[in-house]
Structure 1
Amino acid sequence: MYAPTDVALIIESALGVDMRLVVAIGWIMIFQTFSTQSEHQPPGGVIAGIVVRAGTGEPIAGARVLAQPTTPPRPTPGGAAPVAPSMPPAVTTDGQGRFAFKDLHASPYRLFIFADGYVRHEYVPADQTLQNVRVLLTPAGNVSGNIRDLDGKPLAGVPVQILKPVYNFLGDQTLQSAGAAVTDDRGEYRVYWVTPGRYYVLAGSAISARRAAIPGIASPNEVPGHSVLPTYYPNATDLSGATPIAIQTGADLNNIDFVLERQQARRIRGRVVDAATGKWPPVATVRLVTRSAIGGTSARESLQSYNPVDGTFDVRDVPPGPHQIVVEVRSPGAPGPPVTPPIVPAGAGQAGSITFGGSRALVTAAAQIQVQVGNEDVDNLVVTIGAAGSLPGRLIIEGASTVSGADRLRVQLTPLLAGAMQGPVPVPANPGGTFTIDNVLPGDYRVQVAGLQADFYLKEARFGSQDVLNKPLNFSQSGPASLDVIIGTGFSRIEGTVIDERSQPVRSVAAILVPDQLRGRPDLFRNVTTDQSGRFRMEGIAPGDYKAFAWETLEPFSYYDPDFVRRYEQHGHPVKVSESSNQIIQVQLIRSGQ
């Protein structure tokens, strides 16, 4: 069974949205199913306090407070399901902002506090008996604006998103929605109760040209078939040209306006050419793949889009914005390899495994090309497909010819653009260390190794003379001949304790190890949770210079953000790791707001 924080990481990684609130409520329901289970220790603990507005100290009435026990489920005799600590009922603050939980079972607790118009807050009391908890809630902010066309007329039904740059479990930067709205008949929008911070504003969507005509939400009389080019504030089609906005605590940010051009859905027309023959393939599937700003993907394909007589294709009803054209030649009746999820790097902590369902026919040749659709059709696009090939290689384990656990290692090529292209099946090495990865389509891949145990680390990967551990592997039939993957076996370990300002151990917080260099490598990071004594252990660490951190509260995977880590660099504990080293350290807790 996963801990609640584990489940939160799974959902956040898979969906790329902030689901911690949903997870917390889901776990409340799970814990409450155990409420009839008796505890060995009698209840008696009390957590009581007050919820106030940050900055003024004004009491907040009507706030909702949840208390979640963080003790793992206890094993039970006879192999029965573990018993989770019972969940106390939620409470609401009174007119003076006060709350109290009574008769709590012995366990550390995590409090979740919610109030309309405020940023939700998490608080970790030091014990199950605490009488004077003071919780500060930060007032949220609001954003509003107006969207008009080039003639000054209001644009109705345009989706607007408030976007925050975040990192996913693979260490890739993406955008997370912090709020959304749709313009009304006056072209006005308002996004309310947004957590203060720096954001980007995006008007329009390449996936959905306009909102769905849901009765009571959108008018069925809206004109269909037109849209706007997805545009970042103030007037950029790409994030690199956007200007971030700053949402202040409890403030209204007005006049975030756009002037956009009405655009009709367009067509993408072109021709498919086989790189091996210079001719068009007799059969091909053309797929339009569109990614939203927050990581979602929409794909549609049609056999009717491709004309086998002359190799041309015509994709209709394409909304403006960035897209990909993916062309595949499939082998009828031959099953393709299973869709292999990317390996969860050590830096993601207990993120669990991400699975992808579905199977598809074997793809024998393919290509993908980026297309930007604007106010005109895209014509004369040439897509050159390349055949799938085989990639030979060697898996080298340093320091020994036979090592326990080497038979569990699998070399994996993960497409950089997951879901757009078929990825090959991970393969083991032969007794001599050689391997062959079949059905590798032309494209860019991330080199990974599955099955690394505590005393292994990925030391080097070279494609011919190219470094493909720190850079993507670009596969083509004319590329280098083989892939060499080197595994280091020098067992390195860091043990330590997270302490607070009183030098007391802190339990149930994440201890994060961040490399000084190569911060684009999530496999070099470590993320572990302290036990009930505040202790942690990290293993299988590659030699190098690191810093260890422990934040009281931390947005998922924010430690992958170099700018975020740079702000706390002086609070990190320096660690120099060499092969076969064993170190014991103390890490100072970084308090919220510090």
Structure 2
Amino acid sequence: MILALVVGIVSGIVVDETTGAGVRKAEVLLISGQRSQAAMTDAEGRFKFEGLAPGRYNVQVSKTGFQFREGRGQGSKSVIEIGQGRDETGLRYILRPLGLVTGRVVDADGDPVVGARLLLLRQVKRNGRTVWTAAQGNATSDDRGEFRMFGVPVGRYVLGCTTTGAPRGLAVRVSRMGPVPVFFPDSLEPDSAQVLEVKAGTRLEGLTIKTRTVPLYTVQGRVTGIAGEQTMGVHVTVHEASWGPLMGVGRGSAVMREGGEFVLGPLPPGTYTLFARQVRLGQPADGARRGPEQLSGHATFTLVDRDVEGITVPLGPGVQVEGSVTVEGAPQEPVKGLYILAQASDDSGFAQGAEVKPDGTFQFNVERPGKYFLQPLAQWGERYLASVRAGGEETLGREVDFTFGSPGPVKVVYRKDGGRVEGSVRAKEEGAFGRSATAVLWPVEERFRPFPYLATAPVSPAGAFSFKNAAPGEYLVFAAVSADRRIWGELPELPKDVLEQAARVKVLAGSSTTVEIPLVQWPEE
């Protein structure tokens, strides 16, 4: 007996988003479980698969210098299904040409600068503050001082440049002048630099960045309170208080001299925070074995037009943070894989924390006094975060002030009576979701938008989604494809187009809500 093998055909075209023309030599990949098949588009952008086994396939399209616009346009199915007598033809996938930034780095005399590092930066919103962060795209200037940054996504950027010899605070040098980062065209600060707007296929060519040198200064001081017995070392580091570390400047360490004296530099003018740290292995009198004891201290200083001397950095145990994690209204359960973090509320990126022990307790030191957000770094099963109290005061989504010590024990409370939000996603055509479409539960109140309140859930090929144990509150709900899942947790507000389309729900303890939500297209930056 001869069995007929069911075969299928998949065919279509890949086009350029900006011109509508076919894209040649793009790779179209069909994935089903552990199996995959690939085809290359022809000169007109067309592709064809033949002899496909029955089943469900995820579609991916790629080409260097382009971004796959998943789920965009008529005929752009992310999931296709081949069955008896069922083919998929007339498919149409869109690739967006990425941007290009080119230029030249020269010194004050107009001569080429070799080995300069170039980086694109963009602004994001974090913990209610606007900060600079590194974006996709970097390059190094060649022997002619020229650089080329390709594959730049749509967005608004500033272009920064730092030369190989830029000061890093690692050692004292004889020269009192040195190069510093510059931002196109000739600014010393990203806030005053020219904004480069990159659209689909934008070619920003012929940019010229002129390097600059400034006076450099040293910092001298002394670390006090050093434990002299069984020390593992004392280290002094300096961090520039803003965007400096992104450009490789203002971050370094100094070798300690006898008596705790140190010298840092050379450093360009700016405001810095100096950290000193010592780890001591102690053996108490009772003979009990304990872990390392960490001592730390810090000082902030500003370099203007001269060296700074006489800085004293006293070491101490820092601010001790201790507390517990419980589940309200339920017996205490062993805690596993939960980490409590204290994240500095300024733009320094400084953070410290500790893993919660199985008995629900945690303890760690905050080395640098200041204001912090306390938050867990992982979900804890099917529970929601209900409260974070420090010294008896509710601080969930709010700053905790450790400037003058700890406000008191921290109590992190979870609950199991959260609401359920589920439903389906509206799409213009079948198969538009793909394996990477995602539903987003966006808190209306801004202070709850960082993790873990801003939640995501996968959308099934049939368009279904479900959120379990959502914290009570008001939310906006929408779905987007993977290419658009960029900086949801960093946005102060949703874009207007998304805001108008999103569904609004109110979650109560123990409630269940069914809602139909849109598959939104994220607007251009």
Normalised TM-score (structure 2): 0.76
- How far did residue 544 of structure 1 move? 0.9
Structure 2 residue aligned with 1:501: 428
Structure 2 residue aligned with 1:560: 489
**Structure 1: which 5+ runs fail to align?**
1-40, 70-83, 211-223, 335-360
Q: Which of 307, 315, 334 is the equivalent residue of 1:385?
A: 315
Please give the alpha-carbon distance, in whole angstroms, between the structure 1 residues aligned to 2:393 and 2:197.
Answer: 42
Structure 2 residue aligned with 1:138: 96
3-state SS, counterpart of residue 494 of structure 2: helix
Letter in 2 for 1:492: G
Contact 1:327 1:368 in 2 (8 A): yes
Distance 1:67 1:373, change over 3 A: farther
Structure 2 residue aligned with 1:60: 23
- How far did residue 85 of structure 1 move? 3.2
Q: Which of 160, 163, 176 is the equivalent residue of 2:118?
A: 160
Letter in 2 for 1:540: N
Structure 2 residue aligned with 1:589: 519
Distance 1:458 1:251, change over 3 A: closer
Please give the alpha-carbon distance, in whole angstroms, between the structure 1 residues aligned to 2:489 and 2:109.
Answer: 44
Contact 2:124 2:491 in 1 (8 A): no
Contact 2:215 2:268 in 1 (8 A): yes
3-state SS, counterpart of residue 386 of structure 1: coil
- How far did residue 318 of structure 1 move? 6.0
% same residue: 22
Please give the alpha-carbon distance, in whole angstroms, between the structure 1 residues aligned to 2:351 and 2:480.
Answer: 38
Letter in 1 for 2:61: I
- How far did residue 365 of structure 1 move? 1.4
Pair 1:284-2:237 in alignment = no
**Structure 2: which 5+ runs fail to align?**
72-76, 82-86, 169-174, 284-290
Moved more, 545-554 or 111-120: 111-120
Q: How does 1:394-409 map to 2 (within 5 A)?
A: 395=325, 397-398=327-328, 400=329, 403-404=330-331, 406-408=333-335
- How far did residue 413 of structure 1 move? 3.6
- How far did residue 368 of structure 1 move? 4.0
Contact 2:226 2:278 in 1 (8 A): no
Please give the alpha-carbon distance, in whole angstroms, between the structure 1 residues aligned to 2:20 and 2:319.
Answer: 66
Distance 1:376 1:63, change over 3 A: farther
- How far did residue 322 of structure 1 move? 7.8
3-state SS, counterpart of residue 284 of structure 1: strand
Structure 2 residue aligned with 1:437: 363
- How far did residue 189 of structure 1 move? 2.8
Distance 1:555 1:389, change over 3 A: same
Pair 1:367-2:297 in alignment = yes
Please give the alpha-carbon distance, in whole angstroms, between the structure 2 residues aligned to 1:269 and 1:532.
Answer: 63
Structure 2 residue aligned with 1:85: 34
Distance 1:44 1:131, change over 3 A: same
Please give the alpha-carbon distance, in whole angstroms, between the structure 2 residues aligned to 1:504 and 1:101.
Answer: 18
Structure 1 residue aligned with 2:413: 486
Contact 2:11 2:89 in 1 (8 A): yes
- How far did residue 404 of structure 1 move? 4.8
Structure 1 residue aligned with 2:10: 47
Distance 1:167 1:460, change over 3 A: same
Contact 2:232 2:281 in 1 (8 A): no
**Deviation digits for residues 216-262 of structure 1, max 9, x if unmatched?**
xxxxxxxx998632233344444444442112333432454333313
3-state SS, counterpart of residue 386 of structure 2: strand
3-state SS, counterpart of residue 569 of structure 1: helix
Structure 1 residue aligned with 2:288: none
- How far did residue 510 of structure 1 move? 0.6
**Deviation digits for residues 329-382 of structure 1, max 9, x if unmatched?**
221378xxxxxxxxxxxxxxxxxxxxxxxxxx8343113456677886554444
Q: How does 1:150-549 map to 2 (within 5 A)?
A: 150-165=108-123, 175-204=133-162, 228-262=179-213, 267-274=218-225, 284-288=234-238, 301=253, 305-309=255-259, 311-316=260-265, 325-332=274-281, 362-369=292-299, 379-388=309-318, 390-393=320-323, 395=325, 397-398=327-328, 400=329, 403-404=330-331, 406-408=333-335, 412-416=339-343, 423-427=353-357, 435=361, 437=363, 439=365, 441-443=367-369, 445-449=372-376, 453=380, 455-464=382-391, 466-475=393-402, 478-501=405-428, 506=433, 508=435, 509-518=437-446, 519-549=448-478
Please give the alpha-carbon distance, in whole angstroms, between the structure 1 residues aligned to 2:394 and 2:247.
Answer: 28
Please give the alpha-carbon distance, in whole angstroms, between the structure 2 residues aligned to 1:86 and 1:534.
Answer: 23
Contact 2:340 2:377 in 1 (8 A): no
Please give the alpha-carbon distance, in whole angstroms, between the structure 1 residues aligned to 2:19 and 2:234.
Answer: 65
Please give the alpha-carbon distance, in whole angstroms, between the structure 2 residues aligned to 1:489 and 1:438.
Answer: 27
Please give the alpha-carbon distance, in whole angstroms, between the structure 2 residues aligned to 1:467 and 1:232.
Answer: 42
- How far did residue 459 of structure 1 move? 1.9
Please give the alpha-carbon distance, in whole angstroms, between the structure 2 residues aligned to 1:271 and 1:225.
Answer: 23
- How far did residue 500 of structure 1 move? 0.9
Please give the alpha-carbon distance, in whole angstroms, between the structure 2 residues aligned to 1:495 and 1:107.
Answer: 27
Richer in helix (by share): 1
Letter in 2 for 1:326: F
RMSD: 4.3
Richer in strand (by share): 2
Corresponding residue pairs, total: 485
**Deviation digits for residues 391-424 of structure 1, max 9, x if unmatched?**
45465644x2xx1563437875424379977644
Contact 2:7 2:53 in 1 (8 A): yes
